[in-house]
Amino acid sequence: MFQSIRLGFFLLSVITFLGSVTAQDLGFSINPSEDPIKWSTSVTKENDSTFILQLKAVIKKDWHLYSQTSPDGGSQPAIFNFEDNGKQYKLSGPTLESVTHSEYSDIFEVTEVFFKGVGVFTQKITLNDVGLEKISFSIDYQVCKDLCIASVERFSVFLDPEKAALTKSIDLSDSKDAQKTAALVLPLKNIERLGNALKETEGSKAAGLWKIFILGVLGGLIALLTPCVFPMIPLTVSFFTKGSENRRQGISRALWYGFFIVFIYVLLSLPFHLFNSVDAQILNTVATNVWLNVFFFVVFVFFAGSFFGFYELNLPSSWANKMDASASKMGGIIGVFFMALTLALVSFSCTGPILGGLLGSTALASGDVATNLSVGMFGFGIALAFPFALFALFPGMLSSLPKSGGWMLTVKVFLGFLELGLAFKFLSNADLVGHWGLLKREVFLGIWMLLSVGLAAYLLGVFDKVKKSIHWSRFPWILGALVFGSFMLLGILKKQDLAWLSGFPPPSFYSLYEQESDCPLGLECYKDFETGLSAAKAANKPILLDFTGWACVNCRRMEENVWRDPSVFNKINNEFVLISLYIDDRSPLIESEQFIFQFASGRQKPITTVGQKWGTFQTVNFNAASQPYYVLLSPNLYILGPAIQYTNIGVYDSWLEAGLNEFKKQ
C-alpha cells in the first residue's frame, strides 16, 4: 500500500487531461490556529557555578506533548540538544520531568508517555566558565491531538534569573535574523478584509470532497475495464447465484461481497488519519520537491512498462493463495470477506497504478489529507463493487456484457501510453522547480506529440507481429490521438496557445523561443516584494500580489485562461503593479540573504531558498498557504478587498474592478 501511495497524482492527471474535474489546487487556504504549546523559561542559581534551568510548556486542552521517555515506535519523544555542552558547562544528571501520563496506543502498539496541561523539564548544569552569560539549547518534540505537529524550538536563556524569566526563545535582538524577520512581516491595514475569502473557502470544502469522490469513481470505472478485473465479474456473480442454496442467499452474499470491496479500499486510507499535519507549507513542499517528482517520473515509467506487457507487477502469490484458502475454509460472511480481499490482491497489477495515482493525488491535494483519501477510496471502491451487486440482482444482464478478449489488452496498453505521457509531467515539475532548462515547453509538447503518434500507430496495428483487420471501434481513438498530436505540433510552432491544456505543459514563457518577458503572457512583473512595492509607490498604482508556483496547475490555468481575457489583461497590464512570488522556487538565496525566521511563538524556521522566503511571507501575513492566491494592496499596504483564488473570468474581472474602485476612494 505504501508503495502505491507514493506513485502520486496519476488519476488526477488523467481526469484533468480528459477535461474533467481535478482535486489539485481546490482553493483551500489554512488559517493557522495558535500554537498548541506556550513555552517559558526560568533559572535558579544555587551558587556561582551551579544553576537549575527550567523549561515550562503550557499545553492546550486535549493536546499531548510526548515525554523523553516515550518508547520508540510510537509518537516522537522529546529530544534535547544543549549547545556547547562539555565546553563552557556540563550537564549534572539527566533532564528531569514533571508528572507524566501513560496510555496504550492501539495504533502503534506501545504505551506512550506524555504531558497533559503542563509539562516541566528541569536540567541542572555546572559551569566550566563562571563568566558564561547564557545557555543555548533546543528541544525536538511532537504534540498531538486529532493530528500531530512535529517541531523544533530553540532557546537561549540568560543565567541571570531576572533576565531568564523574560527570555521566551533565542535572543535575536539587533541581529541579522531579527532584522530580516521584522522585514518579512508587513504592517498591513484592514487585514480583517481577508477573512471573507477564508470563509468562502471553508464553504467550498464540501464541493471539493465531491470532486474527489467523483475522481475516485472514475478511477474505479477505469479499473473495471482492465483484464485483471473485468473477467472476474461474470465468474464471481455466477458463483454467488449458482453456488448458493437459493437465489436470496446468492444475492445476499454478492451484496456483502460488494460491501467488503468498498470496506477494504476505505480501510487502506485509515492509517493516514494518523499522519495529518497543519504545517502550513508541508503539502506544497512535498508536492513540489524536485527529487520526489523525479521519483514519480521513474515509477510512472516503470508502471507504463508493466501496462505495455514487458513484465508483470504482482503482489506475492502466497498472499492471494492464503486469502483464497481462508475464503474456502471460513464460509459464510467471513468467507465472502476473504474473497473480496483475494480480488484486491490478484487485481493489483492493473489496479495498483490507478489506485496509487488516486491515493497520491488526494494525499497531495490541498485540504484535510486523511479525509481526501477516505472519500477518494470510497468512490473507487463503490465503482469497483457496483457491477458485482448489480449483476447479482439482475443475472440476466450478464449476457449484455462484452466478452473478455483482446480489447482489454488494448485498454491496458492505452493506459500505458497515458501513464508514460503523464510521467513527463512530473519530470517537468522537477525541471521547472529546479530551473534545469531541460524540458522547455516545445520539448515537452514534442514528447507528447511522439507519444500520440505512437498510440495511433499501436491502434493501427503497426507493432503487431501478426497483421489482422482493425476493428471499427479503434478508429475514433486513432483519430483522437492524431488530432491531439496535431495540436501539440501547432503548439510547438506557436500556432496555438493550447489554453485548454494549461497547467500540464510548462508555461508559455518557459520556451526555446526568445521571450520578451519571463512573466505570464509577456506582462511586466516583479518577483521580489520590496522591489515591486517600490515600483508601486513610484507609479502610485495598486499592487496585484500573486502567490504562485512553478508546478502549480491552477496557477497556469488562471494565467493562460483568465488573465488572457482582454478586459482582465488590460487591467493587470495598465492599472496594477504585478508582483509574482513563487512559493516552490528552490533557488538558494545568497548567503547574506539567508536567515532564521522567528515566529511569535518562539518557533524558528531557516530561510535558505526563495520559495521558503515567500512561502513564510504568505503564511505569516495572510494566513494562507495555497496557490494561486491573489491579494490587492495599496502602496501603503491597505488591503483593498478580500483575497481570491482559482475562479472564472467574470468573478476575477469584477474583483479587480472592485479593488481599483477601493484604491481610488483612498
Q: How many CB atoms lie within 10 A of CB 35?
A: 18
Residue 127 and residue 240: Cα distance in Å, rounded?
Answer: 79
User: Residue type for 541, please?
Assistant: K
DSSP secondary structure code for residue 561 in this structure? I
Residue 245 and residue 238: Cα distance in Å, rounded?
Answer: 13
Q: Which of 352, 282, 342 is nearest to 313 (CA)?
A: 352
Q: What pLDDT was estimated at residue 602? A: 57
Partner residues linked to 152 by β-bridges: 140
Per-10-residue mean pLDDT for the chain, 666 residues long?
34 34 33 66 84 88 89 83 81 88 79 89 88 84 76 78 48 59 79 56 57 81 74 68 63 80 81 49 56 81 80 58 55 71 68 60 52 81 82 69 68 82 84 85 93 92 80 88 92 83 80 78 90 92 92 83 92 94 87 79 76 87 82 91 87 92 86
Buried b (16+ CB within 10 A) or exposed e, 45-55: eeeeeebebbb
- Pairing outcome for strands 37-45 and 50-59: antiparallel
Whether 224 and 387 have beta carbons less than 8 Å apart is answered as yes
Please give the full DSSP string across 373-392, using - where no structure is assigned.
HHHHHHHHHHHHHHHHHHHH
Q: How many CB atoms lie within 10 A of CB 176?
A: 13
Q: What pLDDT was estimated at residue 172? A: 42
Residue 517 and residue 495: Cα distance in Å, rounded?
Answer: 19
DSSP secondary structure code for residue 366 in this structure? S
Q: What pLDDT was estimated at residue 17? A: 34
Q: How many CB atoms lie within 10 A of CB 170?
A: 20
What topology does CATH give the domain 194-199+517-665? Answer: Glutaredoxin (3.40.30)
Whether 288 and 549 have beta carbons less than 8 Å apart is answered as yes
Whether 282 and 148 have beta carbons less than 8 Å apart is answered as no
Residues contacting residue 37 through CB under 8 Å, at least 6 positions apart: 57, 58, 59, 60, 63, 65, 143, 601
**Number of H-type helices and E-type strands within the chain:** 22, 17
Q: What pLDDT was estimated at residue 240? A: 65
Which of helix, strand or coil describes residue 571?
helix
E strand or H helix at 590: none
CATH number of 37-171: 2.60.40.1250
Whether 213 and 375 have beta carbons less than 8 Å apart is answered as yes
Q: Which of 566, 448, 573 is nearest to 506 (CA)?
A: 448
Partner residues linked to 149 by β-bridges: 143
Cell output for 300: 510512472
**Residues making up the chain, counted from first to last:** 666
DSSP secondary structure code for residue 512 in this structure? S
Q: What pLDDT was estimated at residue 170? A: 42
C-alpha separations of 33 from 36, 363, 432, 540, 619 in Å = 8, 22, 33, 35, 12
Which of helix, strand or coil describes residue 207?
helix
Q: How many CB atoms lie within 10 A of CB 43?
A: 21
E strand or H helix at 127: strand 118-127
Cell output for 455: 498510440
Cell output for 538: 513610484
Partner residues linked to 633 by β-bridges: 543, 639
Q: What pLDDT was estimated at residue 587? A: 86
- Pairing outcome for strands 577-582 and 543-548: parallel
C-alpha separations of 335 from 244, 313, 341 in Å = 13, 26, 10
Q: What pLDDT was estimated at residue 142? A: 83
Q: Which of 622, 642, 646, 623 is nearest to 632 (CA)?
A: 642
Whether 379 and 214 have beta carbons less than 8 Å apart is answered as yes
Residues 619-622: contacts with CB under 8 Å, at least 24 apart: 619/32, 619/280, 619/281, 620/184, 620/185, 621/185, 621/186, 621/188, 622/194, 622/547
